[in-house]
Amino acid sequence: MKSPTRLTRRTTIASGLGAAALLGAPSLHAQQRLPGAGKTVSPARPNWDSFWFGQKIVDIGMERLGYRVESIKTLAPAAIFTSLARGDLHYTVDTILPNHSEFYAKTQADVMPVGPIMDPGTVQGYMIDKATAEKHNIRYLEDLADPKIAALFDQNGDGKADMVGPSVSWTGSAGVVSHQIQALGLEKTINVVQGEYTTLAADAVGRHASGKPIFLYTWYPNPTTMKLLPGRDLVWLQLKKVSLPGDQMERYKALAGVDGCASNPCDVGWLPTVYYIGVNRKWAAENPAAHEFFKQVKMVLQDRAEQNARMLNGENREEDIERHARAWISANQQKFDSWIAAAMAVKG
């Protein structure tokens, strides 16, 4: 059975803005002291922009609760978790499990995930260009054990398939790639290319435009898979024998309704990612209303996909992202106000 919302459907975010509703606290709380009155908070966001608008939605909610929200800091995930643990930062919206499990494990005494706020947050796995897949009947990652198939994706002349891999600092996803390449015995035919992922993925988009085969670890939605759509430009490689590190196999299941996959359900071989808000534990205990607000926040993958499409169409400046966030709030005003009300009801 396919999921209610197909994973590559593009629609338009409602653009109306209930300006009056977004300025100041709701009228029913007008006489209440806001829980964040007189307090300043320091948020952070990761150094990729695919969910910056979700961060902005939460920041606006914090302002509604009376907090003064400092200018957002943009950092790599490792730096965010270190700063959260020290208390230099208070929260970040874009943390992903299982990908960030190692960061949470290292900082668990001081940092906790709150949520989930989006489940699933992405579908991730291995993709190749559709033209090469259809011409050579490539459906599985294991198909690249054939040197002739692997050579189709060779970029440096060594005969091995060159796959865009996760950035080195993305220890969770990099660990899965390494585990699966070894478990399937593909070290002799696949070379995982690691560097700055955004740069490597952009290069893959350019090679696709030139009609060259491409092979990459990726996820939907992100800037690459919003330009090269699953099912239209790219296809997912399934795994005949799924193997995942640690206890991930206990939670694994094939996914239904995945565009760009030859089978339904589809064995992409990865857990779908789930989004949480990473929060400093001590600060959360001292700010129970904010903690409750974070627990209330719920969005869906399509919210992010639609906003990402607008960014790819040129609406990618900071002011655009804030406008998208406020438009989403306006279109979901009742839900957003219920989050604020739940937070305001918390004592302490």
In eight-state DSSP terms, residue 210 is T
Question: Does 96 share its domain with 53?
Answer: yes
Question: Does 126 share its domain with 261?
Answer: yes
Q: 301-312 vs 52-64: helix axis angle to the nearest 10? A: 110
Question: Does 109 share its domain with 140?
Answer: no
Question: Does 211 share its domain with 251?
Answer: yes
Q: Is 257 left (phi over 0), alpha (psi -120 to 50) or beta?
A: left
> What is the secondary structure of 246-286 as a DSSP string?
TTGGGG--PBSS-TT-SSSSB--SSPPEEEEEEEEHHHHHH
Pairing of strands 73-75, 43-46: parallel
Question: Does 88 share its domain with 135?
Answer: no
Question: Does 252 share its domain with 143?
Answer: yes
Tokens of 91: 């929260």
Question: Does 65 share its domain with 137?
Answer: no
- Residues 278 and 164: their CA atoms lie apart, in Å, by 28
| 72 CB burial (10 A radius; 0-12, 13-18, 19+) | middle
Q: Helix (H, G, I), strand (E, B), or coil: what is residue 331?
A: helix
Write out the H or E segment, with its range, that includes residue 224.
Answer: helix 223-227
Estimate to the nearest angstrom the gap between the alpha carbon of 51 and the chain centroid: 7
pLDDT in tens, the chain (348 residues): 333 334 444 333 444 444 333 434 444 444 468 999 999 999 999 998 989 999 999 999 999 999 999 999 999 999 999 999 999 999 999 999 988 999 999 999 999 999 999 988 889 999 999 999 999 999 999 999 999 999 999 999 999 999 999 998 888 899 999 999 999 999 999 999 999 999 999 999 999 999 999 999 999 988 899 899 999 999 999 999 999 998 999 999 999 989 999 999 999 999 988 999 999 999 999 999 999 999 999 999 889 999 999 998 999 999 999 999 999 999 999 999 999 999 999 986
- Tracing tokens 């991930």 back to the chain, one arrives at 248
Question: Does 28 share its domain with 153?
Answer: no
User: How many domains does the chain fold into?
Assistant: 2
- Which residues 6+ apart lie within 8 Å of 311 measured at CB? 49, 223, 320, 321
Q: Is residue 3 part of a domain?
A: no
Backbone φ, ψ for residue 145 (5° rounding): -70, -25
Question: Does 114 share its domain with 141?
Answer: no
Last residue of a domain, one of 219, 247, 272: 272
CB–CB of 80/44 below 8 Å? yes
Q: Is residue 5 part of a domain?
A: no
Q: Is residue 49 part of a domain?
A: yes
Question: Does 244 share its domain with 145?
Answer: yes
- Residues 159 and 170: their CA atoms lie apart, in Å, by 27
Last residue of a domain, one of 253, 272, 291: 272
Pairing of strands 190-193, 215-220: unpaired
Residue among 10, 8, 15 at smallest CA distance from 320: 15
pLDDT at 32: 66
Q: Is residue 109 part of a domain?
A: yes
Question: Does 253 share its domain with 288?
Answer: no
pLDDT at 242: 97
Please tell me whether the peptide bond between 77 and the residue prior to it is cis, using omega within 30 degrees of 0: no
Question: Does 240 share its domain with 319?
Answer: no
Tokens of 339: 């989050």
Q: Is residue 10 part of a domain?
A: no
CATH number of the domain encompassing residue 288: 3.40.190.10
Q: Is residue 263 part of a domain?
A: yes
Last residue of a domain, one of 255, 272, 289: 272
**Cα radius of gyration (the chain):** 21
Q: Is residue 72 part of a domain?
A: yes
Q: Which residues pair with residue 44 across a beta bridge?
A: 73, 92
pTM for the structure as a whole = 0.74
CB–CB of 69/41 below 8 Å? yes
In eight-state DSSP terms, residue 140 is B
pLDDT at 120: 85
Identity of residue 270: W
Tokens of 183: 């478990």
CB–CB of 291/284 below 8 Å? yes
Tokens of 317: 């400046």
Write out the H or E segment, with its range, that includes residue 218.
Answer: strand 215-220
CATH number of the domain encompassing residue 257: 3.40.190.100
Q: Is residue 12 part of a domain?
A: no
Instruction: Name the residue range of residue 70's domain.
Output: 19-120+274-344
- Which residues 6+ apart lie within 8 Å of 307 measured at CB? 13, 53, 324, 328
Tokens of 20: 């009056």
